[in-house]
């Protein structure tokens, strides 16, 4: 990444984790920014325009396979984050960042990269809505969340692939296991509806996730020397506050008394 003419950028870039220098998409934030911008363009303009006069695609089998893949992918990432530290070694209250080439530290860094990569596979959630002409399911929250998560995950993988704030990736991946399991079952159609009474509780789990990760991030404010950059916890806390508010608003709107019937038929993947 060229920073020769910007002392500020040089200073920021010097804080990167050099272990991931040569990993795919890690040499600069620009490819990730470009992919996120392309996502926004396709979702808000190109996709709806191309589908305007076309018949909706029947993607049931494709979506079943996709959701099953996402469940397996999320389970694997969750396992990697657990065995790399959170299962036995990491402290919930203060976990330093290990930038060594220790096998476990490298395994956690790799898990951080795959977590980052998984944010791009989630773009298909929105693409399937567009191809099926389910544009009402593409809420502002949905687009914002999917559109900025790769940037947040890139920054974390680039600078802190492990340590205290990897708890957020751990919890988020667990939520994804539950969420994609729900959508895997929902894709089979009406005959599975009686097993899907817990959709409302899935949204509650998402809100609980943001509150818990926010609380966890704020522990560093009370730590004298945790060995983890507090600026990363500030970034994480801001992210959690934003989506805690947005998801709380979504929950209040979707499950209010006036929208109770609509909520039962809605199928919005928001995480």
CA distance 211 to 167: 13
Q: What is the pLDDT of residue 270?
A: 45
Average pLDDT over every residue of 214-232: 86
CA dihedral over 180, 124, 271, 245, signed as positive or negative = negative
In this structure, the number of other CB atoms found within 10 A of the CB of residue 12 comes to: 14
User: In angstroms, rounded to a whole number, what is the distance separating the alpha carbons of residues 144 and 238?
Assistant: 15
In 3D space, the residue among 170, 70, 46 whose CA is nearest the CA of residue 120 turns out to be 70
Pick the more confident residue, 255 or 113: 113
User: Which has more pLDDT, 254 or 29?
Assistant: 29
Provide the pLDDT confidence category of residue 132 given band limits of 50, 70 and 90: very high
Interatomic CA distance for residues 129 and 123, integer angstroms? 10
Confidence band, pLDDT 50/70/90 cuts, at residue 222? confident
Catalytic positions: 145
* Predicted pLDDT of residue 159: 96
Average pLDDT over the chain reads 89
- The confidence score (pLDDT) of residue 268 equals 44
Smallest CA-to-CA distance from 186 within 175, 197, 176 is with 197
Q: Flag whether pLDDT at 267 surpasses 60.
A: no
Q: Can you give the pTM of this predicted structure?
A: 0.90
pLDDT of residue 265: 47
Burial label for 118, CB within 10 Å (0-12, 13-18, 19+), is buried
Domain ranges of the chain: 58-265
| CA distances to 79, 115, 142, 180, 182 from 73, in Å | 10, 9, 21, 10, 15
Average confidence (pLDDT) over 228-251? 91
The length of the chain is 271
* Angle, CA of 205, 210 and 214, to the nearest 5°: 145
Distance, in Å, from the CA atom of 150 to the CA atom of 105, rounded to the nearest integer, reads 22
Cβ atoms of 213 and 168 closer than 8 Å: yes
What's the rounded Cα separation, in Å, for the pair 257 and 5?
57
**What pLDDT is attached to residue 5?**
61
Q: Is the pLDDT of residue 154 over 70?
A: yes
Greater confidence, 9 or 176? 176
Least confident among 5-14, 33-42, 157-166: 5-14
Distance CA 113, CA 7 (A): 27
Residue 210: is its pLDDT beyond 90?
yes
Which of 97-111, 127-141, 257-271 ranks highest by mean pLDDT?
A: 97-111
3-class secondary structure, 88? coil
Q: Which two tokens stand for residue 235?
A: 């970034």
Q: How confident is the model at residue 4 (pLDDT cuts 50, 70, 90)?
A: low
Q: What percentage of the chain reaches a pLDDT higher than 90? A: 70
Give the pLDDT confidence score for residue 66 in this predicted structure.
97
Give the three-class secondary structure for 102. coil
pLDDT digits (tens, 9 = 90+) for 25-57: 999 999 999 999 999 999 999 999 999 889 999
């Amino acid at each position: 990444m060229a920073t020769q003419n910007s002392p500020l950028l040089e200073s920021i870039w010097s804080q990167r984790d050099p272990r991931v220098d040569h990993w795919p998409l890690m040499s600069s934030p620009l490819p990730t920014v470009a992919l996120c911008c392309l996502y926004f363009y396709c979702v808000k303009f190109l996709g709806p325009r191309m589908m305007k006069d076309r018949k909706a695609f029947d993607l049931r089998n494709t979506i079943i396979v996709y959701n099953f893949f996402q469940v397996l992918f999320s389970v694997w990432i969750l396992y990697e984050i657990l065995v790399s530290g959170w299962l036995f070694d990491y402290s919930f209250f203060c976990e330093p960042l290990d930038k060594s080439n220790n096998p476990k530290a490298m395994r956690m860094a790799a898990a951080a990269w795959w977590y980052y990569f998984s944010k791009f596979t989630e773009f298909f959630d929105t693409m399937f809505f567009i191809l099926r002409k389910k544009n009402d399911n593409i809420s502002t929250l949905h687009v914002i969340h999917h559109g900025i998560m790769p940037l947040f995950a890139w920054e974390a993988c680039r600078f802190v692939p492990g340590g205290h704030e990897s708890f957020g990736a751990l919890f988020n991946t667990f939520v994804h296991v539950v969420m994609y399991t729900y959508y895997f079952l929902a894709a089979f159609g009406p005959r599975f509806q009686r097993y899907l009474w817990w959709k409302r509780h899935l949204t509650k789990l998402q809100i609980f996730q943001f509150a818990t990760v926010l609380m966890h991030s704020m522990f560093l404010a009370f730590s004298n020397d945790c060995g983890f950059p507090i600026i990363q916890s500030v970034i994480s806390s801001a992210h959690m506050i934003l989506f805690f508010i947005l998801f709380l608003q979504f929950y209040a709107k979707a499950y209010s008394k006036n929208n109770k019937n609509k909520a039962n038929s809605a199928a919005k993947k928001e995480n």
